[in-house]
A and B are shown apart, each in its own frame.
Chain A
């Protein structure tokens, strides 16, 4: 197929799930099977289109499509442009394929629910999936904002799905407030950039910013980073994230954690590396600080939790921090590690949230202390969960080993000892937090749970697919690196190549390979040390569970929506200061 006709198909990966969303509530009137067919086929169809584009894109091409044939005139683009490079395609592909798996799991595990509520939640699920795909593929700032809002509106009701749970509604309100403030920030930043440069197309914007970056542009960058960091759940923009995950249905948490937060981090990467010129701001230092605070803070809070899904949610914050640190290294290895880890995180965090959701769904117990002895009652779920935990811990041959190794390598090479040590520390705490969960499942049972239930075939298939993927891309890292990750991480920082491609109907971006050695002595020595230190940490966390220090640390997360909005604003001020203050004072 020619590049031209391939490019013209690019809107379809967004359109298929949207059409599926419009059809889902109608399909459920026919039968539940019709609903399952419509809602699993729609994201699979988008994945198929993306796979068709993959060979071209991963060979270093950017496919560009001007929607409605509104081509640039003298380098100025009025219409919406899709510009698909390997970075965007990777996330779109992950979102489409994992989205299909999650939907299959949800419709299978929630089959006892009422028809209409199931149809409506499948509809919102597909809308959210489509919005994340749209955000990954588009090369237009305002169009990114539109997809951000579609994702946001779909996420609210999904959070509040179980209306009998008061925390679900509380979480929905917090999510609404924080996401809405974030959307205002993005909207204002878009307006600022448009009135400065008259540009919406990311390529046109890049060229204009290279020619002249004014104060308003830098403030706009601060606003944009704050807005998308809220979606990504970086500290201190994270207030909504733990709450939204606690009470949402399991597959919805998996969707939020595995796919929706990626929207934020991938867009930050796009803006920092592909749109803005990287001179004159402290944006990389900012990402490093935000990343380290999130990585450590998220891990510590995860260790202190007793609620299973809340623990995993804090771990998501921690992993998003790891990704931000990877972006902040800005080196070839670091960006490759980030790309790899983003894919990995989507896989293992979805897997773990599906397990956690299925456990809550089958037992009604949400706290770890009520879930002792689960390993004997639900061996499949606990097994799948353990695979995910081991992947996060970076135990070979699972995928986490490779991506964490790459990010650690990048930090080591860049000669920044403090971030490196802090990252290792965060890793130890993360392992302790997840080890705590697995150990709890293995303990002897004290009180019987309300009920336990067999796994349905759809659920089992989803778990096996995700766990199998974790293993597969961990076993063949060289292939994944050379063919998928390296093109994505090389495309991201090639701003001028992307800008040229987006403005001239397609083009090439930089290609290359990322050096990597699987048998990395430093990592292999650090791994047992990490595991050995995590053990005592679990004991300490248990022993001092109710101590003053722990209570005081936990009281930072006050639960008040005013406070969370305040944290967001503090983060916003820090972000704007680091992007705009230095050039202003100079």
Chain B
């Protein structure tokens, strides 16, 4: 039933996208982007899951298995988890820059309405 997770990730992604497309408040746009970001974490971790798998951690394995046996046993995909870690770091970095820019825009334009932050058009 992991496909439910995939679909939930798609739903979250598109909710975030809808926010970015329709909300005019810059902070809400940032929140929409964060939601899209979070949906990719869910998607990747769900992709990493295998039926009945344990975490890809070899220290103190369950049911008396040896670590070496677990390495060949039923575990979740460590490579996708690595990507997810990378994505989280990127998400933090981007959100930080986003917020700094929004604060500066608020100082200059004295509004957070995307329809009024458009000096450049045409």
Is A–B contact present in the complex under a CB 8 A cutoff? yes
Q: Which residue of the partner chain, among B29, B37, B83, contacts A561 with CB atoms under 8 Å?
A: B29
Q: Cβ of B21 and Cβ of A195 under 8 Å apart?
A: no
Cβ of A557 and Cβ of B115 under 8 Å apart? no
Instruction: Answer yes or no: A569 CB below 8 A from chain B CBs.
Output: yes
Q: How far is the CA of A225 from the CA of B102 in the complex (A)?
A: 29
**Cβ proximity bits A149-189 to B, threshold 8 Å, 1 near / 0 not:** 10001001100100100110111110011001101100110
Q: Is the CB of B33 within 8 A of A177?
A: yes
Q: Which residues of A contact B114 (CB under 8 A)?
A: 560-562
For the complex formed, measure the closest distance between the CB of A17 and the CB atoms of chain B, giving whole angstroms: 19
- Interface positions, chain B 28-49, Cβ under 8 Å from A, are 29, 33, 36-37, 40, 43-44, 47
Q: Are B101 and A191 in contact (CB under 8 A)?
A: no
| Cα distance A176–B26 in the bound complex, in angstroms | 12
Given A153-B93, A191-B83, A569-B17, A557-B121 contact (CB < 8 Å): yes
**Chain A residues with CB under 8 A of B13:** 184, 188
Complexed CA–CA distance, A565 and B79 (Å): 31
The closest CB in chain A to the CB of B47 belongs to A195
A279 at the interface (CB under 8 A from B): no
Question: A278 contacts the other chain (Cβ, under 8 Å)?
Answer: no
Q: Which residues of B contact A153 (CB under 8 A)?
A: 93-94, 97
Q: How many residues of B contact A (CB 8 A)?
A: 40
Cβ contact of B22, chosen from A172, A180, A562, cutoff 8 A: A562
Closest Cβ neighbor of A310 among chain B residues: B120
Interface residue from A157, A166, A565 paired with B97 (Cβ < 8 Å) = A157
B122 touches A170 (CB 8 A): no
Decide if the interface of chain B is mainly helix, strand, loop or mixed. Answer: helix
- B58 at the A interface (CB under 8 A): no
Main secondary structure, interface of A, reads: helix
How far is the CB of B30 from the nearest CB of chain A, in Å? 9
- Let me know if A169 and B121 touch, CB within 8 A: no
- Residue numbers in A under 8 Å from B20 (CB-CB): 177, 181, 562, 565
Q: Which residues of A contact B40 (CB under 8 A)?
A: 184, 187-188, 191
Complex: A184 Cα to B86 Cα, angstroms: 13
- Expressed in whole angstroms, the Cα–Cα distance for A73 and B100 within the complex equals 45
A555 contacts chain B at the CB level, 8 A cutoff: yes
CA distance A368 to B105 in the complex (A): 27
B70 CB-CB contact with A under 8 Å: no
Which residues of chain A have C-beta atoms less than 8 A from B119's C-beta?
A: 166-167, 170, 559
Contact mask for chain A residues 223-255; partner B; CB cutoff 8 A; 1 contact, 0 none: 000000000000000000011001100000000
Q: Is A442 among interface residues, defined by CB-CB distance under 8 A?
A: no
Contacts of A376 in B (CB 8 A): none
Proximity string of chain A (492-533) to chain B, C-beta cutoff 8 Å, 1 when within and 0 when not: 000000000000000000000000000000000000000000
Cβ of A144 to closest chain B Cβ, rounded Å: 13
Using known A-B contacts A149-B90, A184-B40, A194-B80, determine if residue A163 contacts B104 with beta carbons closer than 8 Å: yes
Q: Is the CB of A565 within 8 A of B21?
A: yes
Known: A153-B94, A180-B94, A562-B114. A173 touches B101 (CB 8 A): yes
> Using a CB-CB cutoff of 8 Å, which residues 523-572 of chain A contact chain B?
554-555, 557-562, 565-566, 569
Q: Are B117 and A184 in contact (CB under 8 A)?
A: no
Q: Which residues of A contact B69 (CB under 8 A)?
A: none
A142 pairs with B83, CB closer than 8 A: yes
B87 within 8 A of A: yes
Confirm or deny: A440 has a beta carbon within 8 angstroms of a beta carbon on chain B. no
Contact assessment for B122 and A173 in the assembled complex, using a CB-CB cutoff below 8 Å? no
15 residue pairs from A and B, CB less than 8 Å apart: A149-B90, A153-B97, A156-B97, A167-B120, A172-B101, A176-B98, A181-B20, A188-B43, A195-B47, A200-B79, A559-B119, A560-B24, A561-B117, A562-B21, A566-B21
Residues on A lying within 8 angstroms of B by beta carbon are 78, 142, 146, 149, 153, 156-157, 160, 163, 166-167, 169-173, 176-177, 180-181, 183-184, 187-188, 190-191, 194-195, 200, 242-243, 246-247, 301, 304-305, 310, 554-555, 557-562, 565-566, 569
A-B complex: 10 closest residue pairs judged by Cβ atoms: A559-B121, A559-B118, A554-B122, A166-B108, A243-B120, A195-B47, A169-B104, A169-B105, A172-B101, A561-B114
Given contacts A169-B104, A181-B33, A191-B43, 9 further A-B contacts (CB under 8 A): A163-B104, A166-B108, A172-B101, A173-B26, A173-B102, A181-B20, A187-B87, A242-B120, A310-B120
